[in-house]
A and B are shown apart, each in its own frame.
Chain A
Amino acid sequence: MKKILLVNTLPENDLSVSNVVQALESEDNKVQVFYAYEKNFRPCVGCNVCWLITPGVCSQRDGYDELLKAYLANDAVIFLSGTTLNFVDCKMKNIIDRMLPLVTMGIHIVDGQCRHIPRYDKKFRFGLVYSGVADNEYLNYWMERVTLNFGGESLGAYPVSDVKGVSACI
């Protein structure tokens, strides 16, 4: 049984949420849902405190540390997002921007490109499921790049109508 974290920025009563949970659980996964819609996590302010002053700990005390721990605890993370301007919604972008404490400020070169040295010995697996209009090809490309920076593996980007696709990848 795999442990899956579902980070959800859709309203809790959105039908997509239960559909995605059901699809993930049908593959014998244990799903922990993190409802972020009401949380209103603040944007990353680029202060570098998590790199230079309190390494690994964000300066903003708004409960995001619970998510940092949950990313580490689970076998895979699925981001469930609405869309805006052909992309993920603003809440989701803020959540992903805030993942910076998972890497250090140190740099190493991987496959000819600079990367931040991961803070933890953890192979992250991130996937994206979105509800709304977006450019699927681009979102797949973006997820690849995002996961690369955390030394992880992308599970891909899927419209909510194709949630079984992400279940199959986990």
Chain B
Amino acid sequence: MDEAPSNGAGDLRVWHHPVLGELQEARPVQITVDGQPLVAREGEVIAAALLAHGILVCRAMPRGREPRGVFCALGRCSDCLITVDGEPNVRACLTPVREGQVIWTQAGLGRWEGPAG
């Protein structure tokens, strides 16, 4: 990634920072979220990739389908549970992005659609 992507409105990345300096280049990683392709940065967690693209909702709660997103980002609150490659209840704030990852925002406790076992 040579420059800030053109999708300015949705791009929430901090490219310049007075203490941390310029954001270093990272290898782009292609993932899909609810069927839409999205370019993440190698090394980042799913929650950061979603947030950078303005996607805030990770799941709908069992009661009332109340939407939830990243709350603690430390793996403690489990608000950011999401379905990754068919496996439900993956913590988006702790799980790194991987090339080709298929991510679905999750309804309730999710449904297992991953490989058996």
Say if A and B assemble together: no
Binding site for A on B (CB under 8 A): none
